[in-house]
A = this chain, B = another copy of it.
Amino acid sequence: MEKFDIHILGCGSALPTTRHQATSQVINIREKLFMIDCGEGTQVQLRRSRLRFNRLNHIFISHLHGDHCFGLIGLISTFGMLERTADLHIHCHPDLEKLMAPQLDFFCKGMTYQVFFHPFNPGEQTVIYDDRSVSVETIPLRHRMPTCGFLFKEKPTPNHIIREMIDFYQIPICMINRIKNGEDYVTNDGTVIPNSRLTIPSDPPRMYAYCSDTCYLPRIVPQIQGVDLLFHEATFANTEAVRAKQTFHSTAAQAALIAREAQVKKLLIGHFSARYEDESILLKEASEIFPHTMLAEENLKISL
């Protein structure tokens, strides 16, 4: 199966601790890397992950709080020192380009590569990236400022051909791609060999949904229905439910309610408040509602 890995670089929340890094993740889809959010210290975590920097061409920023974007300038500047040549694309709220422009002009003058900003409106559900392997669409969320999550949808892969059947019917090589993509084969004497005899269906396309930061927001359920993995913020435990509401964050239990409602396969919770020395209480509260729950942690890799 082709790669679809989630690498957690950081899963802390606004106040940094020595236990957790600021938010950042890298999604590896078929050896293309996509970064989501880029808190302070992300570049060192990226180095630690041993992922190849030059495979990373797209960064998606969920919202403009510092713990989700203060690491960008360091990352961009380091890529410059490493003499990167490929363009780097940053998908973000329109304000970020204006905010970063003076720093980019000053600190990143004369770099060997270019940075492009692709603004989007986080309040609107839109496809903001699309290639032949994957599309990325925004998941509008509700937080203290315009915020969205991201839904990564793999494109279907061609069916696998059954080599023995190809040989048996002496099917010419030029037909192979069409058969992979679902066509039947017609022999010289006019017999139709149905595609299902020649191929094994490929694995169903996989989906990953990233939702951080947000208050409890059941309206996202239809959009993330059935995803293979849902990352949902779980800043607080039940005891802090009032504070969660006030600060437009979620409790672990609320994350689990969303996961259950959306019938996702697995739930990964993160964005832990600095107050929790150990997050087992969050895991417990979420698991009671949705058993397939995991705690995020730095340097964790999940393969879908």
Asked if A289 is an interface residue, CB under 8 A from chain B, the answer is no
Instruction: Find A47's partner among B16, B95, B107 (CB 8 Å cutoff).
Output: B16
A73 and B70 in contact, given A40-B40, A99-B102, A99-B106 (Cβ under 8 angstroms): yes
B-contacting 9-mer, from A74-82, A116-124, A134-142, A202-210: A74-82
A261 CB to closest chain B CB (Å) equals 32
Q: Mask for A98-136, Cβ within 8 A of B = 1, else 0?
A: 110011001100000000000000000000000000000
The answer to whether A16 touches B66, judged by C-beta atoms less than 8 angstroms apart, is no
Q: Which of A49-98 contact B (CB under 8 A)?
A: 64-66, 70-71, 73-74, 77-78, 81-82, 95, 98
The answer to whether A77 touches B66, judged by C-beta atoms less than 8 angstroms apart, is yes
Asked if A177 is an interface residue, CB under 8 A from chain B, the answer is no
Asked if A163 is an interface residue, CB under 8 A from chain B, the answer is no
Q: With a CB–CB cut-off of 8 A, which chain B residues contact A281?
A: none
The answer to whether A102 touches B107, judged by C-beta atoms less than 8 angstroms apart, is no
Asked if A196 is an interface residue, CB under 8 A from chain B, the answer is no
Task: Kindly state the separation between the CA atoms of A56 and B103 in the bound complex, as whole angstroms.
Answer: 26
Instruction: Find A17's partner among B40, B47, B64 (CB 8 Å cutoff).
Output: B47
The answer to whether A44 touches B64, judged by C-beta atoms less than 8 angstroms apart, is no
Q: Which 4 A-B pairs have the closest CB atoms?
A: A40-B74, A66-B77, A41-B41, A70-B74
